[in-house]
């Protein structure tokens, strides 16, 4: 009898744990529409960043060092990082003969970018173009993820045999993580578009020990302040007085610089306002195009129309940047007097 009672107790305990775990998982996977909209917009920008990276690598005006710098910064911890780490896998499309997924095409990101640098012809103008970008709805597995479908056109040639490229359908997989109140989105994989890749759940690539080490070193290091107050020497005081007088002279170069930044900020503000205006229509267009693209009911079909949070935010930023440009123009006027 005791054995039977113990068995029932264990079953109840396991059932309780299962319900609690499911509740916690459901809570962790809850995403607001605003979160989903932000992730989708950031995913689109990441893919555009990949387009820009490839064009930069293919630019003949850059030195080998500059190209290596851009490539490494794209997958290592940096302000220019677009890939989640150096373990990202890309299905090779540098060879013009590769037009669809096949065994043996998986290439680590470092090697993929190096091969692209080595075998794709350089030019003065941009020759790589991503078009027909369609962003999927945001899904949640162990973390939020999204896919971006696009058509890739390499307008240059392979220097292996001078073979021209043809447009190909690609899909980028991206992972989203929350950092404070903001979302950070990174590329986790790039592949040829197919029915299988459209419905597969992305897996976060494993980083190298070097990446992990650099990631840990990103934490700020606080230096200790000296207990002794600084003492100014007579020559330092004279030098300071001279510098102060120089700074207060009419400075044509500083005025020109202020005017330049005023113009740049004004242009950036107008661009941000335009971005805010078109984002909502862009996302709604994606909604229609995405439903046409994915017909498999087992794929990513649960799509909801996006809101306007991001577009309104972009418009607000644009207005703010435009206003700050007025202060730069005012400063330029003061410096030139």
One domain, residues 86 and 178: yes
**Measured distance CA(265)–CA(333) in Å, rounded:** 16
Does residue 229 form part of some domain? no
One domain, residues 173 and 278: no
Reading the block at residue 243, the tokens are: 């510098």
Reading the block at residue 189, the tokens are: 């994989």
Q: What is the CATH number of the domain that holds 116?
A: 3.10.450
Confidence of residue 156 (pLDDT cuts 50, 70, 90): very high
How many domains is the chain built from? 2
Residue 308, classed as helix, strand or coil, is: coil
Please give the residue range of the domain that contains residue 47: 32-215
One domain, residues 92 and 199: yes
Does residue 23 form part of some domain? no
**Measured distance CA(144)–CA(178) in Å, rounded:** 10
- Comparison of pLDDT for 177 and 311, the residue scoring more: 177
**Measured distance CA(55)–CA(51) in Å, rounded:** 6
Cα pseudo-dihedral 23, 26, 28, 34, rounded to 10: -140
Confidence of residue 190 (pLDDT cuts 50, 70, 90): very high
- Name the average pLDDT for the chain: 74
Whether 319 has a pLDDT exceeding 50, the answer reads: no
Give the residue among 106, 295, 131 at the shortest CA–CA distance from 203: 106
Query: Which of 215, 240, 267 is where one domain is finished?
Result: 215
By 3-state DSSP, what share of the chain in percent is helix, strand and coil, each rounded to 5?
50, 15, 30
Query: Which of 165, 199, 215 is where one domain is finished?
Result: 215
Does residue 4 form part of some domain? no
One domain, residues 105 and 207: yes
State pLDDT tens for residues 40-67. Answer: 999 999 999 999 999 999 999 999 999 9
Does residue 241 form part of some domain? no
Tell me how many degrees the CA angle 175-208-90 measures, rounded to the nearest 5: 50
Does residue 97 form part of some domain? yes
Confidence of residue 104 (pLDDT cuts 50, 70, 90): confident
One domain, residues 60 and 172: yes
Reading the block at residue 139, the tokens are: 């899904």
One domain, residues 176 and 325: no
One domain, residues 205 and 253: no
**Measured distance CA(208)–CA(333) in Å, rounded:** 53
Does residue 332 form part of some domain? yes
One domain, residues 179 and 320: no
One domain, residues 113 and 187: yes
The helix (H) or strand (E) run that includes residue 262 is helix 252-293
Does residue 189 form part of some domain? yes
Cα pseudo-dihedral 291, 294, 299, 303, rounded to 10: -10
One domain, residues 71 and 172: yes
Query: Which of 215, 234, 267 is where one domain is finished?
Result: 215
DSSP designation for 190: E
One domain, residues 48 and 176: yes
Cα within 13 Å of Cα(251), Cβ side:
15
One domain, residues 79 and 195: yes
**Measured distance CA(93)–CA(154) in Å, rounded:** 10
pTM above 0.75, yes or no: no
Does residue 232 form part of some domain? no
Name the region of 289 (left: φ>0; alpha: ψ -120 to 50; beta: rest): alpha
Phi, psi dihedral angles at 191 (to 5 degrees): -145, 170
Residue 94, classed as helix, strand or coil, is: coil
Confidence of residue 284 (pLDDT cuts 50, 70, 90): low
**Measured distance CA(116)–CA(96) in Å, rounded:** 11
């Amino acid at each position: 009898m005791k054995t039977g009672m113990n068995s029932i107790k264990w079953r109840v305990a396991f059932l309780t744990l299962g319900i609690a775990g499911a509740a916690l998982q459901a809570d962790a996977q809850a995403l607001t529409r605003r979160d989903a909209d932000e992730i989708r917009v950031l995913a689109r920008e990441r893919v555009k960043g990949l387009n820009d990276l490839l064009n930069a690598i293919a630019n003949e005006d850059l030195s080998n060092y500059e190209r290596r710098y851009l490539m490494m910064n794209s997958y290592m911890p940096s302000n220019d990082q677009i890939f989640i780490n150096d373990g990202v896998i890309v299905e090779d499309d540098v060879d013009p003969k590769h037009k669809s997924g096949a065994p043996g095409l998986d290439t680590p990101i470092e090697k993929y970018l190096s091969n692209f640098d080595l075998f794709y012809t350089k030019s003065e103008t941009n020759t790589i173009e991503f078009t027909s970008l369609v962003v999927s709805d945001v899904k949640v597995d162990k973390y939020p993820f999204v896919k971006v479908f696009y058509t890739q056109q390499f307008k240059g040639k392979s220097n292996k045999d001078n073979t021209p490229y043809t447009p190909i359908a690609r899909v980028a997989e991206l992972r989203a993580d929350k950092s404070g109140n903001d979302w950070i989105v990174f590329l986790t994989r790039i592949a040829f578009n197919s029915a299988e890749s459209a419905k597969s759940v992305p897996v976060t690539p494993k980083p190298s020990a070097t990446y992990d080490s650099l990631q840990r070193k990103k934490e700020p290091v606080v230096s200790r302040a000296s207990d002794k107050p600084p003492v100014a020497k007579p020559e330092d005081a004279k030098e300071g007085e001279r510098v102060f007088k120089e700074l207060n002279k009419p400075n044509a170069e500083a005025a020109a610089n202020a005017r330049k930044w005023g113009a740049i900020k004004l242009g950036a503000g107008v661009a941000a306002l335009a971005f805010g205006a078109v984002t909502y229509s862009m996302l709604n267009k994606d909604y229609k195009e995405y439903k046409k693209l994915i017909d498999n009911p087992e794929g990513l079909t649960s799509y909801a129309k996006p809101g306007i949070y991001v577009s309104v935010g972009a418009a607000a930023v644009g207005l703010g940047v435009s206003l700050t440009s007025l202060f730069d123009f005012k400063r330029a006027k003061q410096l030139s007097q």
